[in-house]
Structure 1
């Protein structure tokens, strides 16, 4: 482990993830962590994790960011004391909260409109996606104090959490291995901090206005490790099975009708 990105969600985590990939690092963002370190996160949720668990699970990973890692950034730092820490921030708290609100608005476009629809949806999408949603809610609570990125954001709670988190990272992480970083500043401060040459390409801008959500649900987000492809496949199997059953029932009723 070389880099721990300790910034909260909506602070440019997808942009810095792509920037670190361009610099040649093995990056584990949300989906890589979910699929490749699932035993580690299960141990955390069951209060059975040790420093050795972090070291064994993440030894071949260069950089982590977003949830689940940001919820336990300090424990990861203790397991890898030589790792550098990057606290991504926005230009202002207002800018960060506007980004969070926009994420909620996009999430509301796709969220089920009732608890019954949510339960039906969870039944259809399969165990992998249900597990992903469960972990999302738990780790979002740890990071932001909210269960999900749809519904109605509670502004006072979110703003308070943003302040508390940033102040805690700044006061806890040794200053000689901490970079407080705004992705708008581009390559120079990041590369200087990591002792890397500046790439001959523009700094990446990802998830602008929460467009990752649209890409993800259209199965066009390149870093979801096949999660949406699996969901779409399961949904097609369900629809095919449903159509088959409907045809079979109609055929049976029709045969019985003509027999009589």
Structure 2
């Protein structure tokens, strides 16, 4: 483990993940952590995770970003004390809140209808449901709130943003820490990491929560097969459902 990205969601986590990939790092972002590392995170939820578990799971990973890692940056640093910590921040708290609010609203719009939501979750299969459960466990740890918004939630979100950033800046050894805004580009990042500045422009990812649509349409390169697995499980459920309906119709027709 070389780099621990401690910025909470909507602080440029996807931009940072792509920047580190361009620098040659093996990055575990949200889907890599869910697909490859979730045994460790479930141990965290069971209060059974040890330093050795962190070392065993993450020793071959160069960098982590987004959740759950951002909420457990201190435990990861304890396991890998030579790692560098990058705290990503936005230009202002207002800018961050506007971004996270838009993200929540976009996610809500994709799951419109109180009755349709559980039906879709059942239809989409076990991996999708496990990911929802996984998010429900770790998003509150990162944001101090679940996927909703309003006056009360705004206060919680804003407070969490301040608390998290202040704690990282206070608790992390200064020599290990870079406070970084993606608008600063390659310069401070590469200087901190001790690497050369690439010839390519600094990336800008997940503008207007576009990753949500990319994952849904199969256009996201780093979902670790999540979308294809969910699609296969969905097709299987549809086939089974159609077979059951056909069998029931045939039974009643012959019974009459």
- Identify the residue that residue 204 of structure 1 maps to in structure 2: 203
Deviation at 1:28, TM superposition (A): 0.3
CA distance in 2, matches of 1:65, 1:72: 11
| Unaligned runs of at least 5 residues, structure 2 | none
**Structure-2 separation of matches of 1:127 and 1:235:** 9
What's the counterpart of residue 82 of structure 2?
Answer: 82
Task: Name the SS of the counterpart of 1:205 in structure 2.
Answer: coil
Matched, 1:18 2:18: yes
Deviations 1:74-115 (A, max 9, x none): 11111110000000000111100110111012111112522x
**Max Rg structure:** 1
For residue 96 of structure 1, what is the aligned residue in structure 2?
Answer: 96
1:174 aligns with 2:170: no
2:62 maps to: 62
Q: Deviations along 1:50-93, whole A, 9 cap, x unmatched?
A: 11111111000000011010111111111110000000000111
Corresponding position of 1:228: 227
- Matching residue of 2:186: 187
Say whether the 8 Å CA contact 1:136–1:147 is kept in structure 2.
Answer: no
| Structure 2 Cα separation of the partners of residues 74 and 42 of structure 1 | 17
Is residue 4 from structure 1 mapped to residue 1 from structure 2 by the alignment? no
- Cα deviation, residue 146, structure 1: 1.7
Contact map agreement 2:143 2:160 (CA 8 A) in 1 = yes
Alpha-carbon displacement from aligned partner over 1:131-179 (angstroms, at most 9, x marks no partner): 211111111111111223x565711110010001000000111111111
In structure 2, how many angstroms separate the alpha carbons of the residues matched to 1:231 and 1:170?
Answer: 39
Aligned partners of 1:178, 1:243: CA distance in 2, in Å? 56
Q: CA deviation at 1:120?
A: 2.8
Pairwise CA RMSD: 1.6
Asked whether the equivalents of residues 43 and 49 of structure 2 are also in contact (C-alpha less than 8 Å), the reply is yes
Question: TM-score, with normalisation over the residues of structure 1?
Answer: 0.92
Matched residue SS, 2:72: helix
